[in-house]
Amino acid sequence: MERTDAAPIQTAILDAGPIIHLDELGCLPLLSDFHELLVPVAVWKEVERHRPSAISADQITFIKQQAPVLSSALYALCEAFNLDRGEREALAVCHIRAGAILFTDDAAVRLAAKAAGVRAYGTLGILIRAIRQRQRTPAEVIRMLEQIPSQTTLFIRKSLLQKIIEEVRASSE
């Protein structure tokens, strides 16, 4: 599906979850309209370990990003939310890339991101955004959403997923 009205395109910083889940759905190209896709080194290693095909895919270009040392405030936040190394690096990269969006499927990371003033969304947001960005038709996105329980390792309550599908369907009518 062709895009006709370009929306602002920016930097995205990725945690492992969305890379893996999008690859499980064959949807990594949905990230292609972002100006740059930064993957912190620890996240890169995590994806390489769990789903190497995702990070080596030639359909999308990820940039391996060295994370800066955490500021003391950010360190305290990461400790409070018990974040792992990749998650900490992702937040640290956000800290030096003001205005970037963080993509993560972890609730603790999203809480920490909120506290740090970082906008964060997950795999579901990326999939649904594909309609708005005219990368996929509503029917195609609904099909991808329906495949989440059987094709991916993303956990979501079935009744909630069904509600989302209905909302997406209604918004496209």
CB of 58 or CB of 88, closer to another protein: 88
- CA 121/CA 100 separation, integer angstroms: 11
Q: Which of 41, 57, 70, 111 binds another protein (CB under 8 A)?
A: 111
Q: Which of residues 62-91 bind another protein (CB under 8 A)?
A: 81-82
- With vertex at residue 102, the alpha carbon angle to CA 99 and CA 108, rounded to the nearest 5 degrees, is 130
Q: Which of 9, 73, 96, 139 binds another protein (CB under 8 A)?
A: 9
- CA 67/CA 97 separation, integer angstroms: 11
- CA 162/CA 9 separation, integer angstroms: 30
Q: Is 158 in the site for another protein (CB under 8 A)?
A: no
- CA 46/CA 12 separation, integer angstroms: 18
Among the listed ranges 49-57, 62-70, 87-95, 153-161, the one in contact with another protein (CB under 8 A) is 153-161
Residue 132's Cα: distance from chain center in Å?
16
Residue ranges in contact with another protein by CB under 8 A: 7-10, 81-82, 101, 107-108, 110-111, 121-132, 156-157, 160, 164, 167-168, 171
